[in-house]
Chain A
Amino acid sequence: MAEAHSTLVKEVVEQFGADRSRLMDIARALHGKLGHLSEDIIGEIADALGIHRVEVRDMVSFYAFLSRSPKGKTTIRLCNAVVERMNGADEIAQAFEEALGIRFGETTPDGAISLEYTPCMGMSDQPPSALVNGVPITGIRKADVPAIIDAIKKGGAVQSLPVAEIELNLRQSGPVIFAPMDRGAAVRRAVDMTPDEIIATMNTARLRGRGGAGFPLAMKWDFCRKAEGDAHYIICNADEGEPGTFKDRVILTEQPDLVFEGMTVAAFVIGAREGFLYLRAEYEYLLPHLEQVLARRRRLGLLGENICGREGFNFDIRIQLGAGAYICGEESALIESLEGKRGAPRDRPPFPVQKGYRNQPSSVNNVETLCCAARIMEKGAEWFSSIGTRDSTGAKLLSVSGDCERPGVYEVPYGATVATVLNMVGAEDAAAVQVGGPSGQCLAPRNFGRSISFEDIPTGGSFIVFGPQRNILESMHQFIEFFVEESCGWCVPCRVGAKHLDIIFRKILDGKGTRADYQQLEQVCMTVKTMSRCGLGQTAANPILTTMRNFPELYDALLQSDDFIPSFDLDKAIKEGCEITGRTPALEEHHV
């Protein structure tokens, strides 16, 4: 057994060229074959790569989809994101637990099935959803649970179940992303221009990044191109982990050529020979499709050597899968992950455009940004900048979910108001909208006149609607729990502070919070926001801070007028002792 494993590990490590930076692929491949990565296997991998065991453990222990203890042959990861829970995920969870006789986090005694939770898996438009050994199933109803379990027990053919059908839900297509494309047009146009001319075109188009930060694309490419290095890299960020977004999934399904087109233009500009598309593990099911598209582009001379006949323009793309970590969408954490390490963000400066992948100049761009760049090559900067507003040119894809009649993807010109979008999606009675996901802001009806734009409400595209029946603050607490789970742990304010936000906020929601607790919550929010190392921590308090601002009445209704209410629960604290001694002390007079 042990020897067979040792041979297997060596084979897999060889398959990836015994390259330490491919540790993610090595770990994923072995995890796929063995079901988990034991301490022995971790040691074997380290030996085969000639690195330290603690380095392999460091990486493996970081990712949610890599387990170090045995799991069932099939793992069901039920999505417990906010929108999923608004649509019955808790009931589905209970149905699975009852049908299998185990709790979440456990494996059936016969080793067949494990139950796990997973945060937003990019299917909020068709909840509740789950991954069954990586295969997404959506729109699950309670009645579907027996058939799902049955299919798994009969050999895992969930693919053929109706729930395995993924809806596209492309509700409003527009001129920018989903319009028909002429494959290769953007690249052909690019090779007829100089990199400087292309940068000038992006500058005229005033294209800004769609991934969240809104950095001007022309500047990023220019910095990267001018930075000295042995190699330059273009990296497409398809980690799409912000709860409530799924537009990159729809792009990768419908318009993958446009994405690769944008990457190829970028490669020409910055002088990259190699590019990566970092695909979140939840989208692994898209991999065969994407590989086919890449293969076709190689056949058509749109990738490979002398692209479009341009002597010396050599470029190719590799798809790197992640392993379940929201933080890997943060560009420097993504780069660490791409190098086969834990997804810990880096301190800046240096920025990725100076020292990125393998410490070489790298441009990290969102899927949608790259599509826009390709379109600008095709249709021109003036055409692009005629859409949207002065400071926010073009259109934005919104991933709309929650309490609305028509959830799905909408291409909306920048400058559209929240109210316009709500009308479009059938949610005129919305009580709140979370724009930009948990790291964005929670808006009240009196904010609905504001506009989706860099100058007003910037967003990566997540747009979650809360109807009047919802307990908004409970959802905000679930967002905080998400950040606690996803904090990488590198820095103190985020690692510890997010957990404190969870605890103090919970106390208030439970009706045990005083004005002093509220004040402390606010202070911890500010410390987490100001002192954290990366964007995750810097925005983790937003669900609380933006509801404190926009929904003060919800807090007022919960806060108690007492000076002090202990968070210490005496009954809970003495429970174990009571069980051991078999008696309960007479404590009545101490109760508060």
Chain B
Amino acid sequence: MSDAGTAPLTILLAGLGGQGVVTAGDLLIAAALHEGYEVKKSEIHGLSRRFGSVSCQVRLGSPLHSPLRGHGGIDILLALEGYEALKQLPYLKPEGVGLVNEFWLRPAAIQTGTETPPSREDPRLQWFPGTTQAQELEAPRSLNYYMVGVVSEWLPLSETSWEQSLAEGQRAKAAPTNRQLFERGRAAARALRRRGPRGVPR
């Protein structure tokens, strides 16, 4: 297990059914386990599977007790869709960071109403063109790999751990594309961090 000095880090993953939120969580878990961290993961099942919001929390570090945190307890919000990101914002710590895929799918309740998405002005949010990138590679369903690449820049996990994680349980056919998207996400995040965004939890 990791040394007790690594304080717990909590990541909330959010998105829509079919976007691969849970798989993204599994990739984080696999990398963290390889790194020797203690991990806990909390998933929401049940009704949420039908076109609904999907979310899960991944925690790593120690000491680790609860599998989830409540409002104001999340270090990193990783969202695959805009509304889901905004919905989950109350969970984010004031000093936390939100990494969001630039993609909006209006909930049924506002399909009729306003065209304008709600304010995205929260300074904690960073936006990434995951959907565009995934479409460019003709792999819309591998969007989650792009966003995992993005978040990898914020996590204390080594290259080898990500190698391991990406290699595990891969359908051979999709693997190269997934890998490519991961790298693109990672590169985009690195570029952003070089430009010096707000403080990030490490």
A, B: real partners: no
- Residues of A bordering B, CB below 8 Å: none
